[in-house]
A and B are shown apart, each in its own frame.
Chain A
Amino acid sequence: MDTLMKILNEIDDSINWEKEKAVIDDRLLDSFGVITLVSELEDAFGIEIEASEMAAENFNSAEAMCQMILRLKEK
């Protein structure tokens, strides 16, 4: 979680990542931000994020991202 929070704060430190639950739905992070985030997450956690994972529910909060990372690591 610490590594994830570090990445998220590097992407945009104006977002309260610990509390925010609708980062995508509320458009706090746009599609270009999501793309940058994807490559950071892939590098940091050694996972592969495919197009099928590019859904708002996977990126709306730090918790949702954490769950996605854990799920992809198990694959």
Chain B
Amino acid sequence: MAYHTAVYLALFLPLALLAYQLAPKKVRWCVLLAAGYSFFWLISKGLVAYLLGTTLFTHYVGIWLGWMKLRCRTEAEQAPKEDQAEIRKQYKRKEKWILAGGILALAGVLAWLKYYNFFAKNLNALMEISGSTALLPAKDLLLPIGISFYTLQAIGYMADVYWEKVPSEKNLGKLALFLGFFPQIMEGPISMYAQTADVLWEGNSLKGENLSKGSVRILWGLFKKMIIADRLYVLVRAVFDYYENYNGIVIAAAAVAYTVQLYMEFSGCMDIVIGSGRMFGVTLPENFNQPFASRNAAEFWRRWHMTLGVWFKTYVFYPVSVSSAVKKWNKFGRKHLGKYLTKLGVSAIALFPVWLLNGLWHGPQWNYIFYGMYYFVILLGGVALEPVRSKVLKLWHADEHALYWRIPQILKTWVIIFAGELFFRANGLRAGLRMFESMFREFTPQKLWDGTFLGFGLDGADYLAIGTGCLVVACVGMIKERKLLGEEGLQTLRTPVRWALYYGLILSVIIFGAYGVGYQQVDLIYANF
């Protein structure tokens, strides 16, 4: 029951809304929680035990940390002033161990379920090369849907309690709801406890404004998914699954097509998710902010899968950056190497774990690890070349906000994104490398219009629907980027214009959506991560 299916949109969501509104305010959180666990059960059956186990464990660690903090405060208050700092230091050390244990346990479960077979396969291959027999047998491990998302939320909550950003939650139900809100279970967005826990708990009545805005957002998501992404899926699969048969422009076009497919699919799903949340009066964090308007790879990652980026920045990048090892390097570097090399070294140390984990988070495949390392190198290159960029700007008296400077930068970023997504989608790293290399062979642009692309399961009308759909999405993106409609968005338009747009959206999904004979329902890509 994915979010774009009729079962979810026409049955599950309306029933959940109805039950929520009919329930007394005090127990509405129970309705949301029951809906979350039912949703999980319908998708993953008994694997719901993992979500429950994670919730209980996270609750316990939170309580433990909270208790330690209370004891620390009490003991410090009662102790002589000169001993207080030492008491706090001792408790901090103990709390650090509790947090580390909590993170290791949750990450350990994720690693076991997600990476055991990958690790075993690679270790066995190494053993075979050295002439030994296989060491680790493959196991039949079932991965609960959404584990990569709710595990990050749980780790974030524990760290926030440790840092005293939020108090430890005594109410198990509230924490369970934070980890198991049904619109977020499959693909995020990854929210922090302070962002959604309270509003989920409040149980405010449904409001007409929220219902209508939520519905429009859901329709917009369906537009992206059904008109563009599900059509591009046909072309992408045809090329990526039989990549040996293609080269040059076909591979390049497939890389672009996959990037667009992934964006329309994932951001479309996020529109449905955020729209669903909005209907209950819950504002979920945004995950996309016109990523194709980015001028460099760093900006791209601030606009693409934003909640994952914020999570890595908050819980990996900054903690590594201010760790004692990095601080020591910083001191040593500034004394012996100068500011530039020191900054480069710190950036490398802080970025490496972020991008290794980012690659691994997406799945147990070498091409995902390569994808992570690809961005590590590009982002580090960006830091390394920053002085050169500044000098060029100064030398040419160039205005970095002017179109002549911005457009080439945006186009350069597109090339970086498309190449990255080629490896991301490829059926393994070897296939990705082969596809990348074959892109430079027999690069004949004529194939774009000589009918070659009509052999991939899409006809002229499909390409027209994709092109028009992309144009509409690009126009909406530009309006948002330039804030042409202000904060109120569509509400600023006159009623007849607004309703014409609503009807246009509904009719375009009904008429141009990719379903019926010849199409198959396409699973959500990120639900598999």
Q: Which residues of A contact B (CB under 8 A)?
A: 27, 30-32, 35-36, 38-39, 42-43, 49-52, 54-55, 75
Contact = CB atoms under 8 A, between A and B. Distances in A.
Contacts of A75: 85
Given A31-B321, A54-B318, 9 more contacts: A31-B317, A35-B322, A35-B346, A39-B327, A39-B331, A43-B331, A50-B322, A51-B163, A52-B162
Contacts of A39: 327, 330-331, 334
Nearest to A27: B302
A38 B346 CA distance: 12
A50 B346 CA distance: 16
Given A38-B321, A39-B327, A49-B322, A31 B313 contact: yes
B322 A51 contact: yes
A30 B346 CA distance: 14
What are the nearest 10 A-B pairs in CB distance?
A: A52-B163, A54-B318, A51-B319, A39-B330, A35-B321, A51-B318, A51-B322, A32-B347, A35-B346, A36-B343
A52 B164 contact: yes
Nearest to A50: B322
Contact of A52 (B165, B331, B339, B343): B165
Contacts of B350: 35
B383 interface: yes
B327 A42 contact: yes
Given A38-B322, A49-B322, A51-B319, A30 B298 contact: yes
A75 B81 CA distance: 12
A48 to B, nearest CB: 9
Contact of B322 (A27, A30, A54): A54
A43 B317 CA distance: 21
Contacts of A27: 302
13 contacts: A30-B298, A31-B313, A32-B343, A35-B343, A36-B343, A39-B327, A39-B330, A39-B334, A42-B327, A52-B162, A54-B319, A54-B322, A75-B85
Indicate the member of A30, A35, A38, A50 with the most B CB atoms within 10 Å: A35
Contacts, number: 45
A64 B431 CA distance: 51
Contacts of B162: 52
B238 to A, nearest CB: 40
Contacts of B383: 32
A56 B313 CA distance: 12
A75 B85 CA distance: 8
A38 B320 CA distance: 13
Contacts of A52: 162-165
Contacts of B302: 27
A12 to B, nearest CB: 11
A20 to B, nearest CB: 18
B125 to A, nearest CB: 38
Nearest to A54: B318
Nearest to A55: B165
Contacts of A51: 163, 318-319, 322
A19 B318 CA distance: 26
A35 B322 CA distance: 7
A25 B165 CA distance: 19
A52 B383 CA distance: 25
Contacts of B319: 51, 54
Interface in B314-368: 314, 317-319, 321-322, 327, 330-331, 334, 339, 343, 346-347, 350
Contacts of A32: 343, 346-347, 383
Nearest to B313: A31
A13 to B, nearest CB: 12
Contacts of B318: 31, 51, 54
Contacts of B164: 52
A40 to B, nearest CB: 9
A22 to B, nearest CB: 15
B159 to A, nearest CB: 8
A59 to B, nearest CB: 11
B303 to A, nearest CB: 11
A51 B317 CA distance: 9
Nearest to B162: A52
Nearest to B322: A51
Nearest to B92: A50
Nearest to A33: B343
Nearest to B88: A75
A31 B386 CA distance: 14
Nearest to B333: A39
A38 B322 CA distance: 8
A3 to B, nearest CB: 17
Contacts of A38: 321-322
Contacts of A43: 331
A43 B298 CA distance: 28
A27 B302 CA distance: 11
B308 to A, nearest CB: 15
A52 B164 CA distance: 8
Indicate the member of A38, A51, A55 with the most B CB atoms within 10 Å: A51
Interface in B117-141: none
A14 to B, nearest CB: 10
A34 B318 CA distance: 9
